[in-house]
A and B are shown apart, each in its own frame.
Chain A
Amino acid sequence: MHTSFYLTLLSSSFSTTVTSSSAPQESMENPLPTSRAEAFPAGLRVLIVDDDPTWLKILEKMLKKCSYEVTTCSLATEALDMLRGKRDRFDIVISDVNMPDMDGFKLLEQVGLEMDLPVIMMSIDGETSRVMKGVQHGACDYLLKPVRMKELRNIWQHVYRKRMHELKDIETHNIHEDTNILRNGSEDPDDRQYVAGTEMSSVRKRKDLESKEFVDHEFNDPSTVKKARVVWSVDLHQKFVNAVNQIGFDKVGPKKILDLMNVPGLTRENVASHLQKYRLYLIRLQRQNEGRACSGNLSSDFMNGENRGNNGFNSSTNIQSESELTTYTSTTENFQTQGIVPSVHISEPKKIEPVQIIGSKKVPSNDVLCASKINNAPHLSVLLSFNDKMTDIKACEPATPKHKPLLSGTPMMQFMQYPKQESCNILSEYSCLTYVDQNLDPSFHQYSSTLPAFISATCTSEKDVKDLFEMKPVLTDYRNGHFTAIPVQVKRGAVNAQDIGAGCKVAGSPSIQDCYLNDKYSQGYFPLTYEFSLNGETEADSLPEDVHLCSLQKIGSIENLGFSSAEIYQYGDSTPTTDVESNWYDSSELNGEYSYDPVEYPLIDEYLFA
C-alpha cells in the first residue's frame, strides 16, 4: 500500500527515540520505527532558530503542543553546527529571517543545499518582496509573525511532501534503469558494448550503494530510502561534463553518464537531476546567445545609451563567431549539442581592456558562448559571484579609479575564475569585453599581454562591489583540467531586471563550477552562472539600451547545486540592485588591471543550475 510504504520511509527517519524533551536526539538509537511512523506527524523533529528569546519560548511551546520534538537555537551559526554535526537529526527547520549573526536567507540556502531539509522562514515582515526572496532561496513556507499554533501544526506536510518527491524520483529512476537494462538501451554501439559489459555489475553496484547510502547513519532499516545528497563538487562536475562530452551531448543520458563517470556511490538519479539542471543551464545560455551574432554585433551589444561611441569592441575586437556558435538556435528547445559552451579563442590579444562591469548593461552571457572562436571579443560577462565575504578576490588594481567605465559600453563583466589554459581566450575576451572605452586610461592596454587565468570575483553584499574589482587574475593549472580553486561564488538569485531596473539575473550556483574541457574545442570552459536575461529572455534588440547590471542578488532557484563544500559554496547576500549598481559604477576597479595572457581560455560560462 502506498501509504504504508511512505510511512515506512518516514519511519526510518523517525526512528529515533521519541522523548518529550527538547534535548537533541541521537540518531543512532535503537529505532522504533513502527511507533514513530504510526505517530507521524507526531515526533517530527523540528529545529527552531530565532534570536528573540520570547518567540523562541512561545514557538517551542506551540510545537510541543503539536507533539513535535523541538530543539531551539538562537544563533544561525549554532544551528548550522547542529545540523552539520549530526545529519538526520532534524526533519525540518524553522528560522527567523533576521538573525544577528547570519542572514536568515543565507542560512536557508545552506540548509537546503547541504542538508536538503525543508526550511520554513518566519518574519514579522510580510512584504511581498521578502516573501518572494524567501521562496527564491528555497523556503518551503514563509510564516508571518505572530505565528499561530495552527500554522505550526501543519508543517509536517513539508516533510512529507519532500519524502514523497524523493520516493518518486527513486522509483522513476529505478524504473528507467530497469527498462534500459532490458532494452540495452544504448544507441551507440560502442556505448552499448560498454554498457552491456558493465551494466549488470554497475547496476547492481548502484543499487547496493543506493541502499547503503540510504542506510547511512540510519538505522538498520533496509527500507530506509532517504535520499542521500550528492554534492556536485568541482571534480565531480568535471567528470560529469567530461562524460557528457565524451558521449556526445545529443546522445547523452543519465545512465551513460553515470557509467562513464564511474563514481562509486553516485546514483543514476543524481546524474539525471544534475543533467537536467545542466541542460537547463545550457538552454539559458543559448537563449542569451540568441540574436547575438558574435561578429560585429558586439559593439551594439555593449553599448549603452551613454556611450555609443565607446564601444571598445568596435575597435578592438573582431569577434568572429565560430560556426559552432551559430548552432545555438533561437528556441530553447533546440539547444544544440554544442551545449557545451565553446571556448573562446582569442587569436590575438588586442587591446585587452580590463573587465568592466557595466552598470546597467545587460550583458549577453552568450557572448561567452559566442566566443568560441571569437577574436578578442570578450563579450563574456564574467560571472560575478558575490559573497558575504570578500574572499578570493584577486586584486587588479584599477587603472583609472575614477573612471566610469561601467557606463561606457562596457559589457558587464562577470568574473569567474576559470583555469588558465593554453589558450586563454576568454580572458582576453573578457578584457576586451570589458572595456573598450576610448576614454579609458591607456594603461589598460598594458594588459593586453597577460590574460588572467581567472578572474574571480567575489563580492560581498556588505562591501562595495568595487572591492570586487580588486581582482587579480588567478592562474590555475588548467592544463590538467583541474582547477586548484574555484573560489568564485555565484550569487544566487534572480532579479527581474524590470523590477529592479537594472538587473541581470545572475543565476548562479553558489559555486563556480569547474572548468571542463570541451573535446570539440579543446578548450575547457568554465561554467559561469549568470543569467543575463530578463526573466530568462534575452532581448537582443534592446540590448544596447537595456544592458542591465547583473544583479548580484541571489538568483532564483539554485537549489542543490551540490557544489562541494562550503568553501566553494558561498552564498552572497543579496545586495540591492541599486546598491550594486552604484557600487559597480564606482568601482573603477573594474577598469582595473587585468592582465591577460593571450592564451586560449576556456570559455567561461555559467553553469546554471536551474
Chain B
Amino acid sequence: MEYSSLHRQLATMKKSFFDQGFLDEQFFQIEELQDDVSPNFVEEVVTLFFKDSLRLMGNIDHALEKFPQDFDRLDSLIHQLKGSASSIGAAKMKNECTVFRDFCDKENQEGCIRSFQKVKKEHACLRQKLENYFQLLRQVGPVAKATRSGN
C-alpha cells in the first residue's frame, strides 16, 4: 500500500509519542478497539479523558489551595487522576502522578505542589500533541486506519 506523506507523517508522529514516552501500550489497546461500530473511538476516548482530567486537576488545585495539608485527600485525588491517565496510556503524566503521590506519602507539601505543576505540564503537552495528531488524522481520512497498529 502506498503511504502518502501524510500517512508517513502520522506514523512518525505516533512513533515519536511512544519513543519519547508520552504514550504507552494502552494507547494501542484503545486503537484496537476502534472498529466499524465506533469509527472514532480513539478520538472520543481521548477527548473524554482530557475533559474529565481537567475536572480532576481542578479538584486537586482546589485541594492544594484549601487543604494543603490534607494529604489523604490529595492522595485520593491524585489516585483518581492517575487512574484516568492510565486509561489512554498517558505515560509521562501517569509517572508524574506517582511522584506526586510519593510526596503525599511523605507529607511534603512543597513537593506536592511542585510535582503537580509537572503533572499539569505533562497533561497540557500531551493534549497538544494528540490534538495535532487527530487533526492530521482527519486530514488523512479513513484510509488512516491502515497506519494503526494491530489492525
Which A residues fall within an 8 A CB radius of B? Answer: 51-55, 57-58, 61-62, 64-65, 96, 98, 123-125, 145-146, 148-149
Once the chains bind, are A98 and B29 in contact (CB under 8 Å)?
A: no
A119 to chain B, nearest CB (A): 18
Q: Given A61-B38, A98-B76, A124-B79: A54 and B87 within 8 A (CB)?
A: yes
Once the chains bind, are A145 and B86 in contact (CB under 8 Å)?
A: yes
B116 at the interface (CB under 8 A from A): no
Q: Given A54-B52, A61-B38: A124 and B33 within 8 A (CB)?
A: no
Chain B positions 50-98 with a Cβ under 8 Å from a chain A Cβ? 52, 76, 79-80, 82-84, 86-89
Pairs of residues from A and B, 10 with the lowest C-beta to C-beta distance, nearest first: A124-B83, A54-B87, A146-B26, A54-B49, A61-B33, A146-B86, A55-B87, A54-B48, A145-B86, A52-B84
Say which residue of A57, A125, A146, A149 sits within 8 Å of B89 (CB atoms).
A146
Residue of B nearest to A20 (CB): B37
- Chain A hits for B89, CB < 8 A: 146
Say which residue of A57, A98, A145, A149 sits within 8 Å of B32 (CB atoms).
A149
Once the chains bind, are A52 and B87 in contact (CB under 8 Å)?
A: yes
Residue of A nearest to B83 (CB): A124
B13 at the interface (CB under 8 A from A): no
- Chain B hits for A54, CB < 8 A: 45, 48-49, 52, 84, 87-88
Residue of A nearest to B49 (CB): A54
- Chain A hits for B29, CB < 8 A: 58, 146, 148-149
CA separation between A214 and B86, bound complex, in Å?
Answer: 42
Once the chains bind, are A58 and B87 in contact (CB under 8 Å)?
A: yes
B25 to chain A, nearest CB (A): 8
B19 at the interface (CB under 8 A from A): no
A133 to chain B, nearest CB (A): 15
A19 to chain B, nearest CB (A): 14
CA separation between A145 and B44, bound complex, in Å?
Answer: 20
Residue of A nearest to B27 (CB): A146
Once the chains bind, are A98 and B83 in contact (CB under 8 Å)?
A: yes
Once the chains bind, are B45 and A57 in contact (CB under 8 Å)?
A: yes
Once the chains bind, are A57 and B86 in contact (CB under 8 Å)?
A: no
B30 at the interface (CB under 8 A from A): yes
- Chain A hits for B82, CB < 8 A: 124
A-B contact sample (19 more), CB < 8 A, given A62-B33, A145-B86: A52-B83, A54-B45, A55-B83, A55-B84, A57-B44, A58-B30, A58-B45, A58-B87, A61-B41, A65-B35, A96-B83, A98-B76, A98-B79, A124-B83, A124-B86, A145-B87, A146-B26, A146-B86, A148-B29
Residue of B nearest to A51 (CB): B80
CA separation between A314 and B76, bound complex, in Å?
Answer: 48
CA separation between A53 and B37, bound complex, in Å?
Answer: 19
Residue of A nearest to B48 (CB): A54
- Chain A hits for B45, CB < 8 A: 54, 57-58
CA separation between A54 and B53, bound complex, in Å?
Answer: 9
Which B residues fall within an 8 A CB radius of A? Answer: 25-26, 29-30, 32-33, 35, 37-38, 41, 44-45, 48-49, 52, 76, 79-80, 82-84, 86-89
- Chain A hits for B76, CB < 8 A: 98
CA separation between A314 and B135, bound complex, in Å?
Answer: 81
Interface centre among B33, B41, B84, B87 (most CB of A within 10 A): B87
- Chain B hits for A55, CB < 8 A: 83-84, 87
14 contacts between A and B (CB under 8 A): A52-B87, A53-B48, A53-B52, A54-B88, A57-B45, A57-B48, A58-B29, A58-B45, A61-B41, A65-B33, A98-B83, A124-B82, A146-B87, A149-B32
A180 to chain B, nearest CB (A): 53
- Chain A hits for B84, CB < 8 A: 52, 54-55
B50 to chain A, nearest CB (A): 9
- Chain B hits for A145, CB < 8 A: 83, 86-87
Once the chains bind, are B52 and A58 in contact (CB under 8 Å)?
A: no
- Chain B hits for A149, CB < 8 A: 29, 32-33
CA separation between A98 and B80, bound complex, in Å?
Answer: 8
B33 to chain A, nearest CB (A): 5
B123 to chain A, nearest CB (A): 13
B100 to chain A, nearest CB (A): 14
- Chain B hits for A52, CB < 8 A: 52, 80, 83-84, 87
CA separation between A64 and B38, bound complex, in Å?
Answer: 11
- Chain B hits for A124, CB < 8 A: 79, 82-83, 86
A95 to chain B, nearest CB (A): 13
- Chain A hits for B44, CB < 8 A: 57
B4 to chain A, nearest CB (A): 29
CA separation between A54 and B30, bound complex, in Å?
Answer: 11
- Chain B hits for A53, CB < 8 A: 48, 52
CA separation between A506 and B33, bound complex, in Å?
Answer: 45
A130 to chain B, nearest CB (A): 11
- Chain B hits for A57, CB < 8 A: 44-45, 48
CA separation between A107 and B17, bound complex, in Å?
Answer: 38
Residue of A nearest to B76 (CB): A98
Once the chains bind, are B33 and A58 in contact (CB under 8 Å)?
A: yes
- Chain B hits for A58, CB < 8 A: 29-30, 33, 45, 87
CA separation between A148 and B41, bound complex, in Å?
Answer: 16
Residue of A nearest to B50 (CB): A54
- Chain B hits for A123, CB < 8 A: 83
- Chain A hits for B80, CB < 8 A: 51-52, 98
CA separation between A123 and B87, bound complex, in Å?
Answer: 11
CA separation between A145 and B81, bound complex, in Å?
Answer: 13
Residue of A nearest to B41 (CB): A61
B29 to chain A, nearest CB (A): 6
CA separation between A64 and B34, bound complex, in Å?
Answer: 12
B45 to chain A, nearest CB (A): 6
- Chain A hits for B87, CB < 8 A: 52, 54-55, 58, 145-146
A143 to chain B, nearest CB (A): 12
B47 to chain A, nearest CB (A): 10
CA separation between A55 and B29, bound complex, in Å?
Answer: 12
- Chain B hits for A64, CB < 8 A: 37
B71 to chain A, nearest CB (A): 15
A105 to chain B, nearest CB (A): 15
CA separation between A336 and B33, bound complex, in Å?
Answer: 60
CA separation between A62 and B32, bound complex, in Å?
Answer: 10
- Chain B hits for A125, CB < 8 A: 79
A104 to chain B, nearest CB (A): 12
CA separation between A486 and B146, bound complex, in Å?
Answer: 64
